[in-house]
């Protein structure tokens, strides 16, 4: 099955009005490949700015997180409706930094993912293991557990993109080899086939999210189950365009 190449850019807690506008201006100035879907996730205060500045038809705007309620006394949270009100159409859920720092559980991530989908957002659902878990050879067990929390309550995965993030490779400069990533992605897809059905599993795009940059992105080009990337630090730099064009 041909799956559309997908590149996500997670700005994390980085940027100002000026720098976010400059990043988007750089994307606007490029002739981006029409067959690549691009989603960028600036910090929440700049979602409206990003929507207004973006002129590329193949680029969409994402929140980095949402809550599982529509509104109410939830100080500091952002609802899917508010994300949509600003013109963004995607959200991340379950990023490793929220799982480890904010202590979000698999079940809470699944609830937020389900609610975001119900409210009309598409979701990049992040999963992945720590260095300790990798050393213990439980990578696929961890990924399966995180996915199962979602598959128990979500039946339609049409608007979900899965991002596999080896936590040990985020911001460290370390990266799994393309072969390692392919092996893990293949295992993730095989597990999804058992839980959400072979047809849906074959259609779900699985992104690699561990220290991808403009130099190493092309090394993943021929990996059948690596359908794109979720990029962190490199999404703040001009080389983000090289990653978007890495399948050409």
User: Concatenated DSSP letters for 29-41?
Assistant: TS---TT-EEEEE
* Other Cβ atoms closer than 10 A to 57: 8
- In the residue annotation, 191 being an active-site residue is answered as no
Residue from 95, 104, 129, 191 carrying the catalytic annotation: 95
Asked whether the beta carbons of 179 and 208 are under 8 A apart, the reply is no
- 58 CB-side CA count, 13 A: 19
Burial class (CB in 10 A: 0-12, 13-18, 19+), 82: middle
Looking at the chain, list the stretches that DSSP marks H as alpha helix, in order from N- to C-terminal side: 17-28, 47-53, 80-85, 96-100, 106-118, 131-135, 139-151, 178-195, 198-203, 240-244
- In the residue annotation, 95 being an active-site residue is answered as yes
Would residue 139 be called left, alpha or beta, if left means φ above 0 and alpha means ψ between -120 and 50 degrees?
alpha
- What backbone phi and psi angles, to 5 degrees, belong to 41? -125, 90
* Other Cβ atoms closer than 10 A to 202: 12
Asked whether the beta carbons of 235 and 214 are under 8 A apart, the reply is no
- What backbone phi and psi angles, to 5 degrees, belong to 228? 150, -165
Residue from 37, 104, 165, 191 carrying the catalytic annotation: 165
Positions annotated as catalytic residues are 95, 165
């Amino acid at each position: 099955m041909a799956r559309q190449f997908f590149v996500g850019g997670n700005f994390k807690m980085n940027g100002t009005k000026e720098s976010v506008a400059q990043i988007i201006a750089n994307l606007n100035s490029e002739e981006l490949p029409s067959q690549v879907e691009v989603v960028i996730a600036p910090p929440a205060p700049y979602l409206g700015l990003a929507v207004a500045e973006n002129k590329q038809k193949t680029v969409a705007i994402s929140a980095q997180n949402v809550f599982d309620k529509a509104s109410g006394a939830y100080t500091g949270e952002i609802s899917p409706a508010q994300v949509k009100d600003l013109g963004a159409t995607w959200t991340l859920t379950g990023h490793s930094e929220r799982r480890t720092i904010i202590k979000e559980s698999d079940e809470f991530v699944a609830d937020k993912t389900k609610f975001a989908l119900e409210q009309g957002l598409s979701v990049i659902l992040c999963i992945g293991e720590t260095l300790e878990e990798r050393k213990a050879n439980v990578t696929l067990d961890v990924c399966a557990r995180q996915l199962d929390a979602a598959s128990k309550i979500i039946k339609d995965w049409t608007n979900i993109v899965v991002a596999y993030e080896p936590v040990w490779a985020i911001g460290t400069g370390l990266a799994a080899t393309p072969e390692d990533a392919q092996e893990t992605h293949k295992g993730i897809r095989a597990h999804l086939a058992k839980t959400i059905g072979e047809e849906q599993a074959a259609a779900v795009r699985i992104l690699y999210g561990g220290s991808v940059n403009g130099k190493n992105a092309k090394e993943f080009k021929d990996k059948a189950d690596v359908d794109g990337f979720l990029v962190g630090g490199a999404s703040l730099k001009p080389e983000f365009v090289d990653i978007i064009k890495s399948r050409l």
